């Protein structure tokens, strides 16, 4: 059972079901096979393995395939049992798995990139294979013919990729912290827009086609919820991690976001609440509460014969304040602040106990997570760690 740091009624409590720990190197990507007690893993030790649960309750490899170089990422489509594996060399190797998951047949190899493949995504509805690499190229191929359909040059190498079938929009998150939306046609690509809200690189993306919301996670420890469908430019911050966000999954049937970070924490966010945007930080040469000058305001310092103070900002109202006028701390969960943050004294008084009610629960996976996958059909979560162990969790809601 995962250690729970902040318990909350009616919360999902990740319950450890199984461990798979027969790896020589870190598992870079792994997925749960829907409708099967199985897992597919690709590892830095150059192996692709399919694990099936035996009568003993243990997972054993039904397929153990060694690649010529390290595998960096993969995409698995359960309907066609097509497995697309991105390689360190820049190529993408495609396989088809048998119905009983005991055999894997090579299908095609795409020479997609000049450097390590960072993300690969198979889109069955379009028969497209999307991929990004450390060569800063975003490419898409026809999976039927193997033909390269198009390439788009990104500002930095890409670490997150999602696709919306209805609008044919690709969401591309890169190492500069920028998210780019591209409109894809059969052999054309057009830039729709770019937006940036993170101070670190984008490490994970998650798209929900129902609510038309994009979630981005970053090395700056934050998550941003971008309301693409609302067309109002709304961006909601979620601050609940103390380390780099490594994975994001949205459970649409329960309206919960699952996130994980490299310190091993798993955070489950209740998205069935009305959240508020954080305010823009206001500029001022003096405290907007007591009017004391800030240290760069030499004229007011001279006129008032007062020492200049350091500037801070209230996280609730955005006003520029001095330390004395913002000595209090508070959580503001509906603004995404699950940890205590600086607020001005007047805002602190206005925040009720109800306003401080947490909208997320926090759990410890007991390993440093590098990858996460959620399977909605079973309600199970998979985490892969730097300890070379894959863990499977039951995420079924538990009502207290």
Domain(s) of CATH 2.130.10.10: residues in the chain: 13-274+357-392
- The residue-averaged pLDDT of 247-264 equals 94
Residue 399 has a pLDDT of: 37
C-alpha distances out from residue 74 to 85, 118, 123, 160, 281, Å: 4, 9, 13, 13, 41
Cβ–Cβ < 8 Å for 233, 181: no
Domain 296-354 -> CATH class: alpha beta
Segment 175-193, tens digit of pLDDT = 999 999 999 988 889 999 9
- Backbone φ, ψ for residue 234 (5° rounding): -70, 130
Q: Among 343, 366, 369, which Cα is nearest to 356's?
A: 343
Residue 383 is given by DSSP the state E
Q: What would the pLDDT profile of 116-174 be if each residue is shown by its tens digit? A: 999 999 999 999 999 999 999 999 999 999 999 999 999 898 999 999 999 999 999 99
Please report the pLDDT score of residue 6 as a whole number: 40
What's the chain's Rg over C-alpha atoms? 24
pLDDT of residue 295: 67
Give per-residue pLDDT as tens, 8-40: 434 558 899 999 988 889 999 999 999 889 999
Let me know: does 374 contact 395? Beta carbons within 8 Å. yes
Residue 233 above 80 pLDDT? no
Work out the pLDDT band at 286, boundaries 50, 70, 90. Answer: confident
Closest to 232 in 3D by CA, of 298, 173, 277: 277
Please list the residue range(s) of the chain that carry CATH number 3.30.40.10: 296-354
Answer positive or negative: Cα dihedral of 193, 197, 199, 204: negative
Give the position of tokens 């079973």. Answer: 378
DSSP 293: B
Percent of the chain with pLDDT over 70: 91
Is the Cβ–Cβ distance between 161 and 169 less than 8 Å? no
Q: What is the pLDDT of residue 348?
A: 93
Considering the four listed CATH numbers 3.40.190.80, 2.40.50.140, 2.60.40.1120, 2.130.10.10, the one that applies to the domain covering 13-274+357-392 is 2.130.10.10
Q: Where are the extended beta strands (E) located within 44-188?
A: 47-53, 59-66, 71-77, 82-87, 91-97, 104-111, 117-123, 128-133, 137-142, 148-153, 158-164, 169-174, 178-184
Given a cut of 90, whether residue 250 has pLDDT beyond it is yes
């Amino acid at each position: 059972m995962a250690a729970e740091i902040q318990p909350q009624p009616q919360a999902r409590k990740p319950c450890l079901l199984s461990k798979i720990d027969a790896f020589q190197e870190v598992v870079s990507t792994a997925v749960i096979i829907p409708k099967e007690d199985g897992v597919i893993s690709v590892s830095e030790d150059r192996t692709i393995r399919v694990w099936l649960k035996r009568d003993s309750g243990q997972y054993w490899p039904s397929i153990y395939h060694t690649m010529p170089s390290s595998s960096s990422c993969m995409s698995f489509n359960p309907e066609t049992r097509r497995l697309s594996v991105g390689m360190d060399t820049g190529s993408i190797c495609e396989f088809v798995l048998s119905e009983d998951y005991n055999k894997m047949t090579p299908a095609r190899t795409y020479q997609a990139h000049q450097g390590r493949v960072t993300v690969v995504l198979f889109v069955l509805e379009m028969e497209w294979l999307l991929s990004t690499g450390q060569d800063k190229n975003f490419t898409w191929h026809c999976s039927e013919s193997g033909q390269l359909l198009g390439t788009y040059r990104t500002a930095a190498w890409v670490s997150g990729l999602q696709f919306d079938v209805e609008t044919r929009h690709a969401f591309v998150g890169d190492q500069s912290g920028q998210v780019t939306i591209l409109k894809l046609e059969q052999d054309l690509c057009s830039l729709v827009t770019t937006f940036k809200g993170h101070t670190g690189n984008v490490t994970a993306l998650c798209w929900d086609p129902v609510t038309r919301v994009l979630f981005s996670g970053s090395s700056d420890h934050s998550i941003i919820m971008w309301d693409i469908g609302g067309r109002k430019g709304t961006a909601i911050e979620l601050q609940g991690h103390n380390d780099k966000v490594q994975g994001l999954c949205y459970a649409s049937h329960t309206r919960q976001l699952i996130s994980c970070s490299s310190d091993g924490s798993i955070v489950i966010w209740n998205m069935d609440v009305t959240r508020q945007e954080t305010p823009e930080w206001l500029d001022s040469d003096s405290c907007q509460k007591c009017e004391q000058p800030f240290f760069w305001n030499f004229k007011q310092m001279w006129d008032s014969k007062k020492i200049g103070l350091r500037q801070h900002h209230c996280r609730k109202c955005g006003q520029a304040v001095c330390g004395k006028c913002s000595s209090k701390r508070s959580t503001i969960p509906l603004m995404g602040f699950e940890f205590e943050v600086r607020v001005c004294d007047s805002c602190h008084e206005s925040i009720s106990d109800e306003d401080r009610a947490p909208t997320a629960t926090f759990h410890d996976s007991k390993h440093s997570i590098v990858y996460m996958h959620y399977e909605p059909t079973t309600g199970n979560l998979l985490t892969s760690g730097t300890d070379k162990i894959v863990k499977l969790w039951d995420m079924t809601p538990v009502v207290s």
